[in-house]
A and B are shown apart, each in its own frame.
Chain A
Amino acid sequence: MPSAVNLDPGVDGGGATIAPEAPRGRRLTAEHVRDYGIIVVFIVLFIVLSITSPSFLSVDNLLNIVRQNAAVGIIACAATVVIIGAGFDLSVGAVYFLAGVASAWLAVHVNVPIGFLGGVAVGLLLGGFNGLLSTTLGISSFLATLATSLVFSGAGAAITKGFPISVSDTSYGTLGTGGFGRLTWSIIVFAIVAIVLQLMLTRTVFGRRVFAIGGNAEAARNSGVRVDRIRVITFVISGAAAALAGVIDASTVSSGGNDSGANLVLASIAAVALGGTSIFGGMGAVWRTVLGVLLLAMIANGFDLLSIASYYQDMFEGFVIIVAVAVNSLAIRQ
């Protein structure tokens, strides 16, 4: 006969104990590993690459890494905000594409400043649309943004008809390639976005409310938080960030509509997960996402410099993400 173990409904379900160590005290928990493990991994990889590849540790190469990843970095920082609020935005790639197209079109047909501003404005609107779909209609944001991503990419393709819109005005390249030498505007914008969103989450009323709706929406509502409104704002932020990324990349190549943005969605979510932000909402940090972006970028760069085939690189990245996500789920179960 089966024994009477663990049928006690008095404790929360699923509370299997994992840690073999003593139950309390200051010890290294999965939670610590999740929150700070990425720093250790980042530093170790940085040192390993510095030693094994002579060209890795140079200002040129390092700034290059950041510049190449500014777009995905901006998107990932905003995705962190959405995910902490227990949402998901799968349309960032499509918004990136459509905003780049709109920006180039406006730069050609109106002028360059309107091209920049208009591109970002498109993202604000599309983000708001996503947010309203998933709140007022009650569609899960995962599905809502999956659907809108088709709509947005389709709209972008309808404008380009498959041919990227190139901008002849050379000032259009300022955002992506101009700046202070190798410190391009795109790097500066990435840094500003990361810092602003980090402070927004930890230092503002809005940030508190994002954590609240993601951690326990019902409790947040009972505490007077307007859950839907906060959620819509997170999607507006995400849309604006994806558009900003699209405009930056369009500016870099002086043409809109080259990149469909399809790989940005998974790359940004991978970076968020690598940074230990809970996919279930309520926990996470932008600074760790930034480390996640840079870690993935470093892996790619290092494998290139060491001339290791890119399929090994994909495999390695996949394993790194698996480890990060496993640590995260361990931390939650504890």
Chain B
Amino acid sequence: MTVATDPRVELQGLSKRFGNVLAVDSVSLSIAAGTVHALVGANGAGKSTVGKMVAGAISPTDGRILLDGEAVQFGSPREALDHGVAFIAQELALAPDMTVMENVFLGVEPRHGSFVDRGSMRSSFDALLASSGFEVPGDARVRSLSIADQQKVEILRALCRGANVIIMDEPTSSLTRDESQRLHALIRDLRAGGMTIIYVSHFLEEVLALSDDIAILRNGRLIRTGPASAETEATLVNGMLGHAASADYPQRKPPPPGPPLLEVDGLSRAGFLRDVSLTVAAGEIVGLAGLVGSGRSELARAIFGADPVDEGTITIDGTQLGAGAPHRSFAAGLAMLPESRKEQGLLLDQPVAANTTLPFLGSSRRIARFGWLWKGNERDDVRTLLADLAVKPESPNAMVKTMSGGNQQKVLFGKCLFQEPRILILDEPTRGVDVGARHAIHNLIGSLAARGVGIILISSDLEEVLGLAHRVLVMRRGAIVAEFGADPSMDAVMEAAFGLAPAGVSP
């Protein structure tokens, strides 16, 4: 609790700017030695960025970090480790084909001249296990371990380098409930041994159970920090969301009554999706809400056919879609705007026209006949589309890599819309675009629905989902756990996403 001990770590006005975005805005925190201090916040609140700055993985734009009252400046996680600060990332950084022991001592192997002294390595390892109370087989290859055991290896690695501050970034996001419990037991043991732990998470339940103090971040700012005993899940959710200013969203026309255009029935994929069923009507915008890792993108990709599924059917207007393959989806009028435009969406070294028409080369008689391209028609059609979407520059020959993020995103839209789809899946349609482009994209989504396109909308920005959708489905751990009509309260959706007793359907 907040007994007046000396702060082990102190942040003073810490800020981080990425381009035009202020990801962390002058955060000041004081973290007592031997405590677990949690950082919570919605997606994009800046909690991970704060953790990474303390760990030396990101350098702050402004502000200071003090260790035991002394200002430090880390150029790399390695330097941080030299000062006793270890970082355990979401994605573990182990050498999978080496043994547990080799990973733990990687780079600090006990030596005998220039040879590794395996005997003393083993005795140090045993000593380490004894002092930490962990149980991991030292000779097992890391690849063969569960994620939870791999995390133990990461922690042992930090311990053997003398770390006394450990920052954990969403350590339980890929763990089962059981494994999470075990990790928590380990963390409590570490704390009892005097370790200071900064715990970044959006799982409120575990944060409340585990931490001494909780800091709440929203939009890069520290909302408050205080003892965990003074918080409840409801107060945390409230603090994380605040009262967001409502933006200007296009008016929603209720979809015309009719049979569902898209029916997804019992979709499952081991480890990702559990028995997901949903329907989308023509002209309807169905929002998918949920935390990062809840399975929203996996669901989108499974419906579209980009990922395989173990079970379940996808039916469009009464016709069942053949086994997962994007080319069949396009032919059936189902298009998807992928989550990451650079990795999954665009050919950066090709001009706009080649990007836009790629999905339709086989089906458009105007731009390709018997495999031969009609480039004049292609240019004309793409130019019209670019004008409709207000893409700058409005040239079909412009290279995609030279365009701004917002305009690249519009090109990606153009690719889905070159032939108007019947169903459009939008995965993070406004990620990384500026305010103007964002507004234009919202209007576009509204007008597509008004024209009768059925839309599945995924966004980490909950406000965007609530502002646009006719219906909101909430996902958690690969399943749909709640359904809401238009304009549900943000708190109710968040509660469902965090797994609190939802107001609507129970899981």
Is B373 in contact with A203, judged by CB distance below 8 angstroms?
Answer: yes
B58 interface contact, C-beta 8 A: yes
In A205-230, the 8 Å CB interface with B consists of 205-206, 208-209, 211-212, 215-216, 218-226
Q: Which residues of B contact A7 (CB under 8 A)?
A: 57-59, 75
Q: Which residues of A contact B368 (CB under 8 A)?
A: 205
- With most chain B CB atoms within 10 A of its CB, the pick from A10, A212, A223, A282 is A223
Is A208 in contact with B358, judged by CB distance below 8 angstroms?
Answer: yes
In B52-109, the 8 Å CB interface with A consists of 57-61, 73, 75-76, 79
A8 interface contact, C-beta 8 A: yes
Is B348 in contact with A10, judged by CB distance below 8 angstroms?
Answer: no
Chain A: CB-nearest residue to B306: A222
Q: Give the interface size class of chain B.
A: 35 or more
Partner of B373, one of A9, A204, A211: A204
Complex Cα gap A206–B372 (Å): 9
Is B345 in contact with A219, judged by CB distance below 8 angstroms?
Answer: yes
Complex Cα gap A50–B416 (Å): 55
Chain B: CB-nearest residue to A206: B371
Q: Which residues of B contact A205 (CB under 8 A)?
A: 361-362, 368, 371-373
Complex Cα gap A212–B372 (Å): 16
Complex Cα gap A146–B415 (Å): 38
Complex Cα gap A189–B59 (Å): 61
A158 interface contact, C-beta 8 A: no
B19 interface contact, C-beta 8 A: yes
Measured CB to CB, the closest approach of chain B to A334, in angstroms, equals 10
Is A223 in contact with B415, judged by CB distance below 8 angstroms?
Answer: yes
Given A205-B371, A224-B359, also A216-B330 (CB < 8 A): no
In A264-284, the 8 Å CB interface with B consists of 282-283
Q: Which residues of B contact A4 (CB under 8 A)?
A: 59-61, 73, 75
Is B358 in contact with A9, judged by CB distance below 8 angstroms?
Answer: no
Partner of A215, one of B75, B336, B349, B375: B349
Q: Which residues of A contact B348 (CB under 8 A)?
A: 215-216
Measured CB to CB, the closest approach of chain B to A226, in angstroms, equals 6
Is B372 in contact with A215, judged by CB distance below 8 angstroms?
Answer: no
Partner of A226, one of B21, B327, B354: B327
Chain A: CB-nearest residue to B412: A219
Q: Which residues of B contact A2 (CB under 8 A)?
A: 75-76, 79
Q: Which residues of A contact B327 (CB under 8 A)?
A: 224-226
A interface size (C-beta, 8 A): 29
Q: Which residues of B contact A203 (CB under 8 A)?
A: 372-373, 375
B146 interface contact, C-beta 8 A: no
Is A208 in contact with B361, judged by CB distance below 8 angstroms?
Answer: yes
Is A209 in contact with B361, judged by CB distance below 8 angstroms?
Answer: yes
B151 interface contact, C-beta 8 A: no
B446 interface contact, C-beta 8 A: no
Complex Cα gap A218–B358 (Å): 13
Is B346 in contact with A219, judged by CB distance below 8 angstroms?
Answer: yes
Given A4-B59, A208-B358, also A222-B372 (CB < 8 A): no
In A1-48, the 8 Å CB interface with B consists of 1-4, 7-10
Q: Which residues of A contact B330 (CB under 8 A)?
A: 223-224
Complex Cα gap A325–B151 (Å): 43
Q: Which residues of B contact A224 (CB under 8 A)?
A: 326-327, 329-331, 358-359, 362
Measured CB to CB, the closest approach of chain A to B422, in angstroms, equals 15
B350 interface contact, C-beta 8 A: yes
Chain B: CB-nearest residue to A11: B19
Contact with A along B328-367 (1 / 0, CB 8 A): 0111000010100001111111100010001101100000
Given A218-B344, A219-B346, also A208-B75 (CB < 8 A): no
Contact with A along B309-333 (1 / 0, CB 8 A): 0000000000000000111011100
B115 interface contact, C-beta 8 A: no
Is B347 in contact with A212, judged by CB distance below 8 angstroms?
Answer: yes
Measured CB to CB, the closest approach of chain B to A6, in angstroms, equals 9
Is A208 in contact with B354, judged by CB distance below 8 angstroms?
Answer: yes
Is B326 in contact with A222, judged by CB distance below 8 angstroms?
Answer: yes
A-B contact pairs, 11 of them (CB 8 A): A7-B59, A10-B19, A204-B371, A206-B371, A208-B373, A216-B348, A218-B343, A222-B304, A222-B336, A223-B358, A282-B350
Residues of A within 8 A of B (CB): 1-4, 7-10, 203-206, 208-209, 211-212, 215-216, 218-226, 282-283
